[in-house]
Chain A
């Protein structure tokens, strides 16, 4: 392998720093330590072949699965002149092949000892350095700016008193549900086990004679809540109120995960967490495009079970489903998915606003199929009825 002088490396280091910057802009969490390690790699000249360099940088700079999956596109976008092309334009060639073909010459040119790089001579191949970034010719994969067109406006429904009350209620409910046993022990005066370490420490003043015993017990631990909110047409009058309630749950100090569904399932936890209420509501209106269509709960839960369940559910999770049970999918499918859901979670609670109606019986096919898999079935069509489920949840 050729030894590379510092002068030759300088442009590449600069470009690499630009690349790190580029990743940061795209939401990668990269600290100075990683940058240092990149430089270290370069110093050992282990980055000299492109496919290797890509894998090494990928291992070094990505921190989770989504970054791992996005890395190849971002790498290609930065190091190839055709960076701005979206991956959809290149479906034929795998990212690996494509970038090898396009970038090989460029990358190698930094390392070729035969032709020392004259300033400027290579620049026409190179995408411009930091200074020209605003031109976008480096091909950063920026997300397109939000397209604001408000179709469903939540704001006009919002009544401050109603919000305050719903959030207050959500807070109380969250409090009722938070206390669950954990397996970790804490010091406690009335615990079931001796804490040897603390007992010895406390009894040093008695010459090691264990007079005062210190005990430990399992502390209370908050539950996790996963909410499914039906935003289809039949739920129209209720969903806006439930959304306020759910927002209260998210902003309280417990772990909550929120999904909206009609014919599709959408995760909205991060949107609801946005402290700017107006912005959050606007985004929700965009997300719930398709509001008022049918309901395919079975299919949505299927999607959840496949994509999110492993992350979102633990044995301490409580699932809240807000829906009226008017479902256009098959009842069998729904029952299967609910069974899977129930197995993974501690408790499955279905809140049905229709239950508050006089003479309503849960006899729609979907509701009938779902009943055996529900731990608690309750009515929820007003704040008062929502408050009534609190003691039920407190018993968990």
Chain B
């Protein structure tokens, strides 16, 4: 209890306002040394959590962005083949035995560490962020399983590399693909919701301290109402922050004051053509009225 409370304050100190469930999840994942799988809508701050955790623990953040077709060469390690070939060529005239050359070209100098190998070869536990794991394919998930359960990587030419320190692993997923049960079972799971109005207000104030409280209240209530509308792409926290910064720049003091300006500034929140069409001036002024 006390430890998770301190974690909460420390997260606040680095400008990340977490909710209690999330703090507990991070604490558990640190205590049990298990990866934490975060799911939730785009824009609820999943990636940001890893960043905040890294600065709280005062350690490196190593990020692996997943995409379709990501394979072991790009995620774990690769030999620097060009350099190896050059090294072989350069020594052709020397009388060095083949064994020596071989030892040299398959040494760490010629090894290109990709994020996963990088993460387990740090002397101090880093935070390893595996972002949007659902974008990678099933084969890559299988690679991950070995690393996440044993924290070791086998390189045929060098042998098995044991983790120097166990990284704090955070995986995020937007749910575009169902993840395998095997991967889920190795992780602690948390579903991240959109923040409550109070928390969102705190977040905006933490990031943009120069805005008046009253306007922040209106902004947050407006966005919360907007999320209930039938939208294709629901605005996330980053959008709220953009919008708040935009409104502060426009020197607006109250949303309902200047509806045309309000509507033009909505481009910060509404990211598809259909959404922009569906939130007309009338809808915007109705929402602004509710938020006032």
A residues near B, CB below 8 A?
1, 29, 31, 33-34, 37, 40-41, 44, 46, 48-49, 52, 55-56, 58-60, 62-65, 67-69, 182-185, 196-197, 199-200, 208, 210, 310-311, 314, 336, 340
Assembly CA distance A224 to B34 (angstroms): 33
Contact between A29 and B181, CB atoms less than 8 A apart: yes
Neighbouring A residues of B84 by C-beta, 8 Å: 200
Contact between B28 and A60, CB atoms less than 8 A apart: yes
At the interface, yes or no: B20 with Cβ under 8 Å from chain A? yes
Q: Closest chain B residue to A336 by CB distance?
A: B274
Q: List 18 A-B contacts (CB under 8 A).
A: A29-B181, A34-B185, A49-B1, A59-B24, A59-B25, A63-B185, A63-B187, A64-B39, A64-B179, A64-B184, A68-B190, A69-B191, A184-B68, A184-B137, A185-B69, A208-B88, A311-B177, A336-B274
Contact between A200 and B81, CB atoms less than 8 A apart: yes
Neighbouring B residues of A37 by C-beta, 8 Å: 32, 34
At the interface, yes or no: B188 with Cβ under 8 Å from chain A? yes
Neighbouring B residues of A314 by C-beta, 8 Å: 176-177
As a 0/1 sequence over residues 107 to 141 of chain B, the CB contacts with chain A under 8 angstroms (1 = contact) are 00000000000000000000000000000010100
- Known interface pairs A63-B189, A340-B232; A46-B1 also in contact (CB < 8 Å): yes
Contact between B81 and A197, CB atoms less than 8 A apart: yes
Contact between B85 and A208, CB atoms less than 8 A apart: yes
**B72-90 with Cβ < 8 A to chain A:** 73, 78-79, 81-82, 84-85, 88
Neighbouring A residues of B198 by C-beta, 8 Å: none
Neighbouring B residues of A68 by C-beta, 8 Å: 189-191
For the complex of A and B, list the 3 residue pairs with the smallest distance between their C-beta atoms, beginning with the closest: A183-B69, A196-B81, A63-B184
As a 0/1 sequence over residues 31 to 55 of chain B, the CB contacts with chain A under 8 angstroms (1 = contact) are 1101000010000000000000000
As a 0/1 sequence over residues 172 to 215 of chain B, the CB contacts with chain A under 8 angstroms (1 = contact) are 00111111010011011111000000000000000000000000
At the interface, yes or no: B71 with Cβ under 8 Å from chain A? yes
As a 0/1 sequence over residues 3 to 34 of chain B, the CB contacts with chain A under 8 angstroms (1 = contact) are 01000000000000000110011001001101
Neighbouring B residues of A48 by C-beta, 8 Å: 1
Of the four ranges (under 10, 10 to 19, 20 to 34, 35 or more), the interface on chain B belongs to 35 or more
Q: How many A-B residue pairs have CB under 8 A?
A: 90
Q: Closest chain A residue to B68 by CB distance?
A: A183
- Known interface pairs A31-B185, A311-B176, A314-B177; A59-B28 also in contact (CB < 8 Å): yes
Given contact pairs A29-B184, A65-B175, a sample of 16 additional A-B residue pairs in the complex whose CB atoms are under 8 Å apart:
A1-B1, A29-B181, A31-B185, A46-B1, A52-B4, A55-B21, A55-B24, A59-B24, A59-B28, A64-B179, A65-B191, A183-B68, A196-B79, A196-B81, A208-B88, A336-B274
Q: Closest chain B residue to A302 by CB distance?
A: B230
Assembly CA distance A64 to B188 (angstroms): 10
- Minimum CB–CB distance from A314 to chain B (whole Å) comes to 7
Contact between B79 and A197, CB atoms less than 8 A apart: yes
Contact between A184 and B69, CB atoms less than 8 A apart: yes
- Minimum CB–CB distance from A384 to chain B (whole Å) comes to 36
- Minimum CB–CB distance from B171 to chain A (whole Å) comes to 13
Assembly CA distance A185 to B181 (angstroms): 26
Neighbouring B residues of A336 by C-beta, 8 Å: 274
B residues near A, CB below 8 A?
1, 4, 20-21, 24-25, 28, 31-32, 34, 39, 68-69, 71, 73, 78-79, 81-82, 84-85, 88, 137, 139, 174-179, 181, 184-185, 187-191, 232, 274
Q: Closest chain B residue to A1 by CB distance?
A: B1
Contact between B185 and A59, CB atoms less than 8 A apart: no
Neighbouring A residues of B187 by C-beta, 8 Å: 63
B24: which of A52, A65, A182, A196 is its contact (CB, 8 Å)?
A52
Neighbouring B residues of A29 by C-beta, 8 Å: 181, 184-185
- Minimum CB–CB distance from A199 to chain B (whole Å) comes to 8
- Minimum CB–CB distance from A310 to chain B (whole Å) comes to 6
Assembly CA distance A363 to B104 (angstroms): 74
Contact between A311 and B189, CB atoms less than 8 A apart: no
Contact between A311 and B24, CB atoms less than 8 A apart: no
Assembly CA distance A208 to B84 (angstroms): 10
Neighbouring A residues of B191 by C-beta, 8 Å: 65, 68-69
Q: Closest chain A residue to B89 by CB distance?
A: A208
Assembly CA distance A196 to B110 (angstroms): 14
Neighbouring A residues of B190 by C-beta, 8 Å: 59, 68
Give the residue among A33, A60, A63, A183 with the most B Cβ atoms within 10 A.
A63
- Known interface pairs A185-B71, A208-B85; A55-B176 also in contact (CB < 8 Å): no
Neighbouring B residues of A200 by C-beta, 8 Å: 79, 81, 84-85
Neighbouring A residues of B184 by C-beta, 8 Å: 29, 63-64
Neighbouring A residues of B78 by C-beta, 8 Å: 197
Contact between A59 and B175, CB atoms less than 8 A apart: no
Q: Closest chain B residue to A55 by CB distance?
A: B24
Assembly CA distance A63 to B183 (angstroms): 10
Q: Closest chain A residue to B82 by CB distance?
A: A196
Q: Closest chain A residue to B230 by CB distance?
A: A306
A310: which of B24, B28, B176, B274 is its contact (CB, 8 Å)?
B176
Assembly CA distance A55 to B73 (angstroms): 38
Assembly CA distance A138 to B200 (angstroms): 39
Contact between B28 and A182, CB atoms less than 8 A apart: no
- Known interface pairs A55-B24, A184-B69; A62-B189 also in contact (CB < 8 Å): yes
